[in-house]
């Protein structure tokens, strides 16, 4: 069995992290509305949105071209924030990851290789996975490449964005999809015909995987 599992809003409380990140920008005089405006203008939250992956350091460079602020202080605040993100990992994440051997677990996430890797490493769960895939494109193709031509192996894909499932199901016939709908998540995607299961936490995901 292979379990491909998303990072943001599935294992990691991205909503809480985003609030802390916005707080760092506010300390140098960039209000939340302005932060969000520039983020939405230039960056994607998912591959199907078609813009560049978000990287906080790229964001700072973009803002420096448009307004004056203490960028060295902001970078210091960001580094302090990123130094230890273990408190932002959902409490059930570590319990869930301990239930399965490392060889069965693959982390698959959309994002900037630099920024996303920093988040994952400092969340404390990086070493729980046989493989960590940070993609700027198609999650389905990354899963297909990882499992190769073995059509008999059980394969599960846990994500909070339903749009990833259609292509994944088309490319990997044996794939079973689990839509994560945490109350703490940023999205409220509705299940569709490409969702095999729905879970509101990782305990429910574990129940599905061990049936």
pLDDT digits (tens, 9 = 90+) for 5-38: 999 999 999 999 999 999 999 999 999 999 999 8
User: Considering Cα of 31, then 37, then 39, then 44, what sign does the dihedral take?
Assistant: positive
pLDDT range class, residue 128, cuts 50, 70, 90:
very high
- The strand pairing partners of 106, in sequence order, are 4, 131
Mean pLDDT of 43-71: 89
CA distance 181 to 163: 14
Q: In terms of Cα–Cα distance, which of 118, 53, 108, 54 is closest to 83?
A: 118
Residue 105 confidence (pLDDT): 98
The single residue listed with the structure tokens 């995901």 is 205
Residue 164 confidence (pLDDT): 94
Q: Is a pLDDT exceeding 90 seen at residue 73?
A: yes
**Eight-class DSSP state of 54:** P
pTM above 0.75, yes or no: yes
Q: In terms of Cα–Cα distance, which of 199, 196, 211 is closest to 9?
A: 199
- The strand pairing partners of 89, in sequence order, are 12
**Eight-class DSSP state of 48:** G
Mean pLDDT of 93-106: 96
Measure CA 123 to chain center: 12
Mean pLDDT of 181-208: 97
Mean pLDDT of 47-67: 89
Tokens of 65: 């071209």
- The answer to whether residues 53 and 110 touch, using CB atoms and an 8 Å cutoff, is yes
Mean pLDDT of 89-110: 96
Tokens of 18: 């985003």
């Amino acid at each position: 069995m292979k379990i491909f599992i998303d990072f943001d809003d599935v294992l990691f409380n991205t909503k809480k992290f985003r609030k802390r990140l916005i707080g760092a920008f506010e300390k140098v005089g960039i209000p939340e509305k302005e932060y969000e405006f520039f983020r939405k203008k230039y960056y994607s939250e998912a591959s199907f949105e078609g813009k560049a992956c978000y990287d906080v350091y790229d964001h700072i460079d973009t803002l420096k071209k448009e307004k004056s602020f203490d960028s060295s202080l902001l970078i210091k605040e960001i580094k302090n924030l990123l130094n230890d993100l273990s408190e932002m990992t959902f409490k059930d994440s570590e319990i869930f990851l301990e239930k399965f051997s490392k060889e069965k677990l693959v982390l698959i996430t959309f994002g900037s290789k630099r920024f996303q890797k920093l988040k994952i490493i400092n969340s404390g769960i990086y070493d729980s996975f046989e493989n960590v895939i940070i993609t700027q494109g198609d999650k389905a193709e990354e899963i297909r490449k990882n499992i190769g031509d073995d059509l008999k192996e059980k394969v599960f894909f846990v994500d909070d964005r339903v749009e990833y499932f259609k292509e994944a199901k088309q490319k990997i016939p044996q794939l079973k999809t689990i839509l994560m709908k945490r109350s703490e998540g940023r999205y409220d995607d509705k299940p569709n015909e490409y969702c095999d299961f729905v879970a509101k936490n990782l305990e429910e995901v574990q129940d599905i995987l061990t049936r």
